[in-house]
Structure 1
Amino acid sequence: MAILSLVLTAIFWFSIASGKSTPEPPGPERIEIIELPLPPVVGSNATGACTVEVNPHKTGCIGREFIDFQSGDFTPDGDHVVVNLEFIGAPASPDPANIYTGEQLILVKTDGTLFANGDPWKCLTCGVPESNAQSLDPQKDYPHVARSGKKALWGHNIIDCGDFLLASDDCTPANTFIYPIFWPSTLDGSGPGGVPREMRLHPDDVHMGWSSFTPDGGQNTFFGRLEFNPNPLTGAPLAPRYDLVDVNLLENPFGPSILDLNEKGELELHYDAIGVGELRGFSGSGDEILYIGPTHEANNHDIFAVHVTTGKVRRLTSHPEYADPVSFSHDNKWFVVMDTRGSNRQMWMSGMRGIPPLIDIVTVAAAASTRNNHHRRFFQPILIDSEGDRGSYFGQQVNAHGDGSDGSPNDPNWNGRADPAFSYDGTQIVYWQALVTAPACGGVNPLPCPESTAQGGRTYRVMLARLKDREPTVPETIFDIPDFLPWATPFPPGSEFPVQSGLPQGTYTLRGKVSGTANATLIADSTSVIRTVSVEYDDYSDDGEHIINGFESVTGTPDPTNPWLSNLNWTSDLKGTGAVTATKKTGPDGFQLSIDVMLNIFNANGTLTTTIDGAVYEQPANGT
């Protein structure tokens, strides 16, 4: 019956989001998993530790612990994957091998062949002359190969090999150029936009989107166009660079928020509201922006898509577990998402369905953070068709096959990281994983630390999934995206953010779409920020299948020294009837949770337990 509850609720929410009949979901596929090769491991970062005995080709060594490691996506031919890593132990100059040092970008072969250097990898950025790489931005994450195969996004930099493919032998250090990306008045953090992070290149290789944190803990998302500036006269750096121009703030100043007051002074939920919380990329054709948006159900974080011109919003995931990094196939028919589904990591707070997102006003940060325990993550890659979760269909775990033993594809101690990616023909998926390490295991933690089975004992690996039942497909035609999105807000240099008018404190009624009410009391602090949400549910139901009764209250207390720290005092006594029998209850002394968004280390007192038709989901123990 617990499964039936999830099924019925998913059907309901999907029908609301899509406004069309539900297509038949696909069946499971045969998937083969292999590990891709990386440079050899050396145990010391001392100069010269990477000897010819360790690497006879003298093409670099890497360490056991992952530092600045991240795999990206495929080259257009599907035979190579781009990987960011840290080379260590290089010999001193004038040895030619001394170029293999520090954070670099490499290509790794996926087809078992070798580059001309005799290795299954090739460094793209090692040995590039200083004159070809002036004033590089230190941010070098989320690598992405352009559709031309001749350029790559490397954090806040663009790698350009001119007329040559990055994977070709003709792409040498001498003809490789690396240019920083400059966002006028904001890239250095001095402007209102904050420092950009997690940049994603649009499929047209011209536009891009990014998220940005402000010093006070706020987050915004943007969309702009890359424009090459060979001789800048203002700003920094004064070196050849790519400027971000025609910048849009991805916020609709005239649209509703997901939770608003109507003309009667009652609360209303607007599931079609655009709320780009954290940008995660684009659809295969680039016609939609992918993002983590405002919750549609209490504590349930999902992936959404908004059309770049119409502003139509789609909810892609609805499973109660947490979804985050996501990537679409180039034919626009599939996506792969890193998700905690199957781990039960979030079920204790989000498993009870049909609860409207009222307490999320104060719990949203904590609910997003409990998905991890610092170095232990609970993500695994999930393959889902482009219509998203619905009915009994919640996708297919890409790496489900295996016995769960140490080092196996489905070893739970190997945690999925950002970002997965499809090959251009849709027959392969690449993703990377990190092995859980202390303090998320060992020492005072009751969970022991596993021994790495990867080459050299390294704690990171790149995995290739071959979709055995698929025929190659052709990428979808790239959507002709405008520079300024009709529903977004132009954000030229010097712009200020639109003034946001949050809900004022008071007592309000939210009426269920089918039955009942939720009477919510919102209490603000001296700065008019809502810190307490208390809700009384009386036969509340939006779908007629899940009926909510009871009381829930959460108070958030800010830390004046740390805007990323979330402190919650939680009381819950909810009952669900209808399609399932469910409860969500705290213990006699309530439930107190403290978690830092940046560290994700779980610390709590008391208990919060959700039951669904007898299945019990309890919050994790501290530090686990």
Structure 2
Amino acid sequence: MTLPSGVKGRRSASRKFRGRVPTAALAAGCLAWAVPAPVAVPADGSASKAGAAPFYAVQRDAVPVPAGVMPWGPTWFPDGRHILFEDYNGGREWIADADGANARCLTCSMSDHPGVVGGFAYAFPDRKRMFLANELGDNVKILECAPSLLDCRSHQWLPVDLSADAAPGQRNLGRRTYHLAPDGVHLGYSITRPDGLVMIVAALERGVSDYSLADPRAVNPPGPAGPTDTDPDGWANGGSLQEFKSFADGGRSAVVLAAQPGGIPQQQKIDLRTGRVTQLTGYPDWNEDGAVSPDSDLLLTASWRTQNRMTALGLLPLPRPFVNLSRAIEAIYYVSSRPGFACDLHPWLLPAGGDRNGHLVGQPLNPYGGGTDIPANNLSGQQVWSPDSTRVLLQGRSLVPPAAGANAYVQQKGTAPSELVVARINRPPTTPVPTVTTEVGSWAPTPQDYRSSYDMPGVHVVKGKSSGTAVITLGGDITGGTFSVRYQDYSDDGDYFLNGTQTVTGTVAAEVVIEDNLVATDAKGAKAGHLRSALRYRQITPRPEDGQPGVEKAGTVSSSWLGKRANGLPPVAACPGTMPRPFQLALTVTSSSPRSTIKARVTADIHGDERPVQGAAVRVGTDTAVTGPDGTVILPAPAGPQETVEVTATAGDTFLPARTPLPGPSS
């Protein structure tokens, strides 16, 4: 294979993503469950007419790094000229050039390294400092280098004191998901407390020997005003799983996880100045990590869309997440072991406004092509985007088991190939939205003043926005207790009505039992959908070692909505059989009369989301042209008496090429 000119050591990632799943992987249980038929979402084929961005030609470059180095959480330097990544096998941080080549270790010689393995690493805008934190926990440090990170002749590690987020009476159950704002001053993260996950935004202040937090604010959408509040929105906000995922819009906004609507993790965007919430995703399966591009035109979402993994729980869109904090075990089951991470969330590309409540499916940025190397989820937020919004740093993973003696992080996450994978999106470079000083408005309370639904135990009656009621019973906190919701003709839109119950009992440390018995009807009383589940999650004791699942699941779940049906939840296991694969291009061609020019249009249909493809290369004879946003090009017809002309189209390595014969005038 010919290497792109000027790129040392670069090879196309598509070469190794093709092929068959090895027999050994199949024997290990990678395809141990039947692949369900896709559940259709309401894509109507009119995405482009509705103003959605086109699909893009994407080329993945896999650039080797030294053997044994397993890149984790790669991020761009703010100037876009270098890449920072962690080696979660060796536990050190590395820097590479913008094309991924020339990787060199930044911290290997530092005997005072804080011992962070995996997690989050960001370069500050001054290029003299690096933020480093573990994925789950409080080991948060800032590395100061002189004269710069690129030439670190002297250094010091300074701790970050996070204690300003402490709230009296609320235990710290663990901080997580750290993200540095574009201004290089503010930090966003989440802290788990008995009353929920509280998302914090605060300024970093440099002291004599450490950094600390200034003016921390809880940026969760507001919970209930009090125990007698009848507005369902506050109780839904206060009962929902929330997690800080990225800054956006130059630092003005935040992308967060929220279990709304329907109880499945979804992406929302919060304007930090005003508190205004915009729903980004609504596809009825897990959508979590990701980020808006620096130019605010595109959205990256890590998702199980099209894989039908949690669709049975998310298909019915009517139940509100009043007690979803108690159902976190449904997620913990899938993301706490190496077999779970062998079926990680995949990166998908959407317009910045999101998937329009599931009407857009999007395009996979890293489709699986066979073999033991599989796509994974880069948790690092907006810094996975290059500043010009044309490249995305992808996370790789491998089905090859860890070597004996591998560290605990590798045991849990699985191994990764020794390469950086960069997805190049064929669109013109753009200018980032101007960076602003992140400002949190007065709507956001301090962490000490924040109250979730779980701070208000008892029985509460809320009113549907249109009609009916929901009776919410809260008895405990997120670690365990008894929780229920009883819907009676509950409706938020006047079109559909919900009746039935949801209950959650038990403790996360031992066993949690979840039961749903919900029926939805339309305004005429006809059945519109249902959700029935009886699920039991039990902690395995003693806890297995070597990254094996610590939770076992039993039970059944089924759901329906407006003619669509979903059943069951898959076990924790690798899932190459359901991973998105490269999608087929569609090519239509016409010619002028007489045949002097040929017009070609390139489109793709991804599970009903049909759009033109920008950046596709269309070839006729010796001439090649590249499609624009409408997916079309006009090329000269080949000279001569040819009766039939073959037209071909390619679009990077995430789509399969297409070819179409164009008959001659006399054919």
TM-score by length of 2: 0.65
Given that 1:322 and 1:368 are in contact with CA atoms closer than 8 Å, whether structure 2 keeps it comes out as no
Tell me how far apart the structure 1 counterparts of residues 157 and 476 of structure 2 sit (CA, whole Å).
49
Equivalent in 347, 355, 362 of residue 381 of structure 1: 347
> In 2 relative to 1, CA 350–594 (structure 1 residues): closer, same or farther, beyond 3 Å?
farther
In structure 1, the residue matched to 2:444 is 488
In structure 2, the residue matched to 1:555 is 504
In structure 2, the residue matched to 1:178 is 157
> In 2 relative to 1, CA 488–521 (structure 1 residues): closer, same or farther, beyond 3 Å?
closer
User: 2:120 is paired with a residue of what secondary structure?
Assistant: coil
Unaligned runs of 5+ in 2: 1-37, 134-139, 403-413, 574-667
Unaligned runs of 5+ in 1: 12-21, 42-61, 88-101, 114-119, 231-239, 440-451
> In 2 relative to 1, CA 476–4 (structure 1 residues): closer, same or farther, beyond 3 Å?
same
1:444-459 equivalences in 2 (<5 Å): 458=416
> In 2 relative to 1, CA 486–337 (structure 1 residues): closer, same or farther, beyond 3 Å?
same
1:388-537 equivalences in 2 (<5 Å): 388-390=354-356, 393-394=359-360, 396-399=362-365, 404-407=369-372, 413-419=374-380, 421-436=384-399, 458=416, 462-468=420-426, 470-482=427-439, 485-490=441-446, 502-506=455-459, 508=461, 510-513=463-466, 516-520=467-471, 522=473, 524=475, 531-537=482-488
1:154-233 equivalences in 2 (<5 Å): 154-155=132-133, 156-164=140-148, 166-167=149-150, 171-172=151-152, 174-184=153-163, 196-214=175-193, 218-230=196-208
Amino acid at match of 2:187: M
Tell me how far apart the structure 1 counterparts of residues 565 and 242 of structure 2 sit (CA, whole Å).
31
Given that 2:497 and 2:523 are in contact with CA atoms closer than 8 Å, whether structure 1 keeps it comes out as no
In structure 2, the residue matched to 1:574 is 519
Given that 2:84 and 2:121 are in contact with CA atoms closer than 8 Å, whether structure 1 keeps it comes out as yes
Report the CA distance between 1:534 and its aligned residue. 4.3
Report the CA distance between 1:105 and its aligned residue. 0.4
1:55-454 equivalences in 2 (<5 Å): 62=69, 70-86=72-88, 102-111=90-99, 113=101, 120-128=102-110, 136=114, 138=116, 141-155=119-133, 156-164=140-148, 166-167=149-150, 171-172=151-152, 174-184=153-163, 196-214=175-193, 218-230=196-208, 240-250=209-219, 255-257=222-224, 261-262=228-229, 266=230, 268-270=232-234, 277-293=242-258, 295-358=259-322, 360=324, 362-363=326-327, 365-372=328-335, 374-375=337-338, 376=340, 377-390=343-356, 393-394=359-360, 396-399=362-365, 404-407=369-372, 413-419=374-380, 421-436=384-399
> In 2 relative to 1, CA 517–191 (structure 1 residues): closer, same or farther, beyond 3 Å?
closer
Tell me how far apart the structure 1 counterparts of residues 416 and 260 of structure 2 sit (CA, whole Å).
40
Amino acid at match of 2:255: L
User: 1:331 is paired with a residue of what secondary structure?
Assistant: coil
Tell me how far apart the structure 1 counterparts of residues 419 and 487 of structure 2 sit (CA, whole Å).
48
Tell me how far apart the structure 2 counterparts of residues 183 and 505 of structure 1 sit (CA, whole Å).
32
Tell me how far apart the structure 1 counterparts of residues 457 and 236 of structure 2 sit (CA, whole Å).
22
Tell me how far apart the structure 2 counterparts of residues 190 and 573 of structure 1 sit (CA, whole Å).
36
Per-residue displacement from partner, 1:415-466 (whole Å, max 9, x unpaired)? 3342361001111001203234779xxxxxxxxxxxx9xxxx8557542110
Report the CA distance between 1:573 and its aligned residue. 4.8
> In 2 relative to 1, CA 416–437 (structure 1 residues): closer, same or farther, beyond 3 Å?
farther
Higher RCO, 1 or 2 (CA under 8 Å, sep at least 6)? 2
Report the CA distance between 1:606 and its aligned residue. 2.9
Report the CA distance between 1:290 and its aligned residue. 2.2
Tell me how far apart the structure 2 counterparts of residues 161 and 503 of structure 1 sit (CA, whole Å).
48
Tell me how far apart the structure 2 counterparts of residues 249 and 30 of structure 1 sit (CA, whole Å).
40
> In 2 relative to 1, CA 329–181 (structure 1 residues): closer, same or farther, beyond 3 Å?
same
Report the CA distance between 1:312 and its aligned residue. 1.3
Given that 2:333 and 2:572 are in contact with CA atoms closer than 8 Å, whether structure 1 keeps it comes out as no
Tell me how far apart the structure 1 counterparts of residues 417 and 160 of structure 2 sit (CA, whole Å).
31
User: 1:324 is paired with a residue of what secondary structure?
Assistant: strand
Report the CA distance between 1:285 and its aligned residue. 0.2
Report the CA distance between 1:388 and its aligned residue. 1.6
Tell me how far apart the structure 2 counterparts of residues 281 and 568 of structure 1 sit (CA, whole Å).
33
1:11-50 equivalences in 2 (<5 Å): 24-41=51-68
User: 1:125 is paired with a residue of what secondary structure?
Assistant: coil
Tell me how far apart the structure 2 counterparts of residues 305 and 37 of structure 1 sit (CA, whole Å).
35
User: 1:474 is paired with a residue of what secondary structure?
Assistant: coil
> In 2 relative to 1, CA 401–222 (structure 1 residues): closer, same or farther, beyond 3 Å?
closer
TM-score by length of 1: 0.69
